[in-house]
Structure 1
């Protein structure tokens, strides 16, 4: 089987579990390090001619990572596609197990078993901190309802104050974000690269946790270490004096 992945999380999962199966991946597929496959452009705007030239038996996509029109174009060209859409940690673990089994994995990989244990071992209840979670600025975009990253944070004791918003990724003005009076602002380093010098200054006096976007939003081998990595980052926020 020849597989092209347009989803960084799935690229890592397939490459580590079934080496040699992948023939193509996006320019943003950075894990595992040293992966040698044909690059086919970005997740949002892949070079479909390059994808088709690889003669894939399957292309892996995700509802949030990729565009519907690209999935439709691949299907119209006769290429089977598999579209993932996990919105919780449990859904991600199930989708990964199903995908790898269907691709021919003889057994569940060790990293997936470790991920199951890591999330199952979290305390059932912990004090919740009210947070806003920007994923972009200029304009500001935050996590809203029904997102995978929102469930990750919830299980780590962080309550997204926009979790009940009608949109999955609302775009409130900065003054609206501040008016929510969050106890914490969670700033991932992807898709927007928030840093200590770019992000906390917008929320003077409010603790801002700089976290790994890969561990917050990727659903693959990084899930095994995500609880420990994110818990440490959430416990060490920075405060901009304003």
Structure 2
């Protein structure tokens, strides 16, 4: 089986579970460390000719991470493309199992069982916490409705304030975000790399939680540690 992955979290899931199956991955596929496969461009601009030259049996993609025209071009080149759709944790577990099976897996990897167990009873503090969750600045964009990251936070007792917005990733003026007065501002380090020096200064007087984007938005082996890693970051911000 020869597989090309266009999704960083799926790259990690396949590489860890089925060593040797991956022959190509995007430039943004950083895990597992030291992954030695052909790089095929970005998630939004994959090099179709390079992928086709690898003669993969399957290309794995995601409806949100990858653009439909690129996936159509891969199909036009005669390649089979499996497109995942992941909006919440249960769907993530189902899709991960589907991807691994399609890539030749014959059983469930241990990490997938550990991840499901970790999320069966995640640590949730008493009471609910409100949040805004910027994912970009210049312009400011936040989590809106129907997102995987929003579902992850909700299961940790955090309700982000734009969960019923008409858009999934709305642009919201900074002044409006400040005026919303959330209990905490959650600042992930991807897709925009918020740091202690770039993010909290925009929200004076509000607690800010710098969190791992990999544990907030990736669906793969990182899910097993995500409840603990995210929970610790959120608790630290509220102290």
Q: TM-score, normalised by structure 2?
A: 0.97
Q: Mapping of 1:99-118 within 5 angstroms?
A: 99-118=99-118
The offset of 1:238, in angstroms, is 8.0
Q: Mapping of 1:210-221 within 5 angstroms?
A: 210-221=210-221
Higher deviation after alignment, 141-150 or 101-110: 101-110
3-state SS of 1:177 partner:
helix
**Structure 1: where are the runs of 5+ without partners?**
none
**Structure 2: where are the runs of 5+ without partners?**
none
Q: TM-score, normalised by structure 1?
A: 0.96
The offset of 1:181, in angstroms, is 1.2
Contact 1:215–1:230 at 8 Å: present in 2 too?
Answer: yes
Q: Number of aligned pairs?
A: 239
1:171: which partner in 2? 171
Q: Give me the whole-angstrom Cα distance separating, in 1, the residues matched to 2:196 and 2:124.
A: 31
1:65: which partner in 2? 65
The offset of 1:101, in angstroms, is 2.0
The offset of 1:106, in angstroms, is 2.0
Q: Give me the whole-angstrom Cα distance separating, in 1, the residues matched to 2:238 and 2:155.
A: 22
Q: Give me the whole-angstrom Cα distance separating, in 2, the residues matched to 1:19 and 1:61.
A: 19
1:54: which partner in 2? 54
1:234: which partner in 2? 234
Q: Once the two structures are superposed, what CA deviation does each residue of 1:60-118 show, in whole Å capped at 9, x if it has no partner?
A: 11111111110111111111101111100111011111221232212100000000000
Q: Give me the whole-angstrom Cα distance separating, in 1, the residues matched to 2:123 and 2:140.
A: 32
Contact 1:196–1:238 at 8 Å: present in 2 too?
Answer: no
The offset of 1:121, in angstroms, is 2.0
Q: Mapping of 1:1-242 within 5 angstroms?
A: 1-122=1-122, 126-237=126-237
- CA RMSD in angstroms, aligned pairs only: 1.4
Q: Once the two structures are superposed, what CA deviation does each residue of 1:163-194 show, in whole Å capped at 9, x if it has no partner?
A: 00000000011011112111110000001000
Runs of 4+ aligned structure 1 residues displaced above 3 Å come to 123-126
Q: Give me the whole-angstrom Cα distance separating, in 1, the residues matched to 2:76 and 2:58.
A: 13
Contact 1:200–1:238 at 8 Å: present in 2 too?
Answer: no
The offset of 1:125, in angstroms, is 7.9
Q: Give me the whole-angstrom Cα distance separating, in 2, the residues matched to 1:76 and 1:238.
A: 51
Q: Give me the whole-angstrom Cα distance separating, in 2, the residues matched to 1:194 and 1:123.
A: 25
